[in-house]
Structure 1
Amino acid sequence: MFLHIGNNINIFLKDIVAIIDKNSLENSKDNNGYIKNLLKNDFLANENMDDIKTYIITCSSDNPRRKRKSGKKHFVYTSNISSATLMKRNKSIETRLEVSINGQ
Structure 2
Amino acid sequence: MLLHIGQDISIFSKDIVAIIDYSTIQESESNQEFLKTAEEEGFLMSLTDKPHSFVVTIDRIYLSPISAITLAKRVGEFPK
Q: TM > 0.5 between the two?
A: yes
In structure 2, the residue matched to 1:39 is 39
Tell me the amino acid that sits aligned with residue 43 of structure 1.
F
Q: Which structure has the bigger radius of gyration?
A: 1
* RMSD of aligned residue pairs (Cα, Å): 1.4
In structure 1, the residue matched to 2:77 is 92
Pairing of 1:1-104 with structure 2 (within 5 A) = 1-45=1-45, 47=46, 49-59=48-58, 74-93=59-78, 97-98=79-80
| Aligned pairs, number | 80
Tell me the amino acid that sits aligned with residue 58 of structure 1.
T
Q: Structure 1 regions of 5+ residues with no counterpart?
A: 60-73, 99-104
Identity %: 39
Tell me the amino acid that sits aligned with residue 40 of structure 1.
E
Tell me the amino acid that sits aligned with residue 80 of structure 1.
P
How far apart, CA to CA, are the structure 2 residues paired with 1:13 and 1:29?
Answer: 27
Deviation at 1:24, TM superposition (A): 1.1
Tell me the amino acid that sits aligned with residue 76 of structure 1.
I
TM-score, scaled relative to structure 1: 0.70
Q: Structure 2 regions of 5+ residues with no counterpart?
A: none
TM-score, scaled relative to structure 2: 0.88
How far apart, CA to CA, are the structure 1 residues paired with 2:48 and 2:39?
Answer: 13
* Mapped contact 2:47–2:63 kept (Cα < 8 A): no
